[in-house]
Amino acid sequence: MRIDSMTYYTVSLVGIRDNQNAIARLSQQIATQSNYLAAKDNPLATQKILDLGDRIATRAQYANNQTKAEITLKYESVVLDEIESTLRRARGLLAGISHNADAVTRHTHAEQLRGAFQQLLDLANSRDPSGSYIFSGDRTTTKPFNNAGGGVPPAGAASTYNGSTNLREVEVESGRRVRVNDNLDTVMRAGAGAGTDLLQTLDEAIVRLPLSAPPGAVPDQATLNGYIQTIDTALDSLAGIQYRVAGVRTELADLMVTTNGLQTLEQNALSDLQRVDQAAAIMRLQTRQTSLEAAQQAYALTSGLSLFSFLG
């Protein structure tokens, strides 16, 4: 075949240019550790990478929600445990006294009960680290339980509840929600309104125990047993809440393990898709360098060849 001089001299330029392109691309892949420098390099893989990236971001947010829910519930469970031990202390104080104990003992127990009363009130009005009341439902800025104490014998001061029964759920996985707070009113005022009032009962004990004569008079054994009964009812309700919280925390712990595992899986899948195989890339780079040198050699050799050089 006949070949024209321009083609003859420039044919190796194509090879040089192709090899230079490939080398630039490989260097960039190695430098960025990334297989694809633009979406168009592999549209199918890009779609997978984007979908995976979205899923990883969503899962990271759910993992974050799980951690936050766990922190909230752990905080609540610590407060609930404190409430339980305070109630048990109050029950101990009431069980440890009879209606005919001496005035000093009754005074001392009443004082200690006052401490338990105050502690219970404080615990029921606990706030989380960001300052929200944890037992006021959605009225997080409102102090839920009020009881000034010091009722007029024979009755104790009644409690008021300013919280709400709107409780909060958070999403810990797509479509899966857990409740992160509880209605303590079922403990403090079992069957709110109609039923018993824990703080009122304790206040009644506090104001009546020291009395030596009517109208309050020292509560008789049946009344004392009634106080204890109220505390037991509260402890029962409390246990219900504690079981719920513990159950959710177990669920969250399981979920965190699963989420973590999936995150690792997805991260690995993403990096398999995205990351360049360094060894293979470097080998390809060397091959390309060799063929670039060959093309350059070819150009150097052919460009020097002309019949005119030999004609005298």
Binding site for other proteins (CB under 8 A): 1-8, 11, 14, 38-44, 46-47, 50-51, 53-54, 57-58, 60-61, 64-65, 68-69, 130, 132, 136-142, 164, 166, 168-171, 174-175, 177, 306-308, 311
Residues 6+ apart with CB under 8 A from 292: 15, 16, 19, 20, 23
Cβ at position 190, least distance to other proteins in Å? 22
Task: Give the Cα-Cα-Cα angle 170, 58, 137 (nearest 5 degrees).
Answer: 10
Nearer to other proteins, 72 or 237 (CB): 72
Which residues partner with 169 through β-bridges? 179
Cβ at position 47, least distance to other proteins in Å? 4
Which residue type, as a one-letter code, is found at position 301? Answer: L
Nearer to other proteins, 40 or 193 (CB): 40
Nearer to other proteins, 222 or 311 (CB): 311
Q: How is residue 107 written in tokens?
A: 């005074």
Burial class of residue 50 in the structure, from the number of CB atoms within 10 Å of its CB (0-12 exposed, 13-18 middle, 19+ buried): exposed
Nearer to other proteins, 130 or 212 (CB): 130
Residues 6+ apart with CB under 8 A from 297: none
Cβ at position 136, least distance to other proteins in Å? 7
Cβ at position 84, least distance to other proteins in Å? 24
Task: Give the Cα-Cα-Cα angle 283, 276, 47 (nearest 5 degrees).
Answer: 140
DSSP tally for the chain: helices H, then strands E: 8, 4
Nearer to other proteins, 131 or 193 (CB): 131
Cβ at position 214, least distance to other proteins in Å? 43
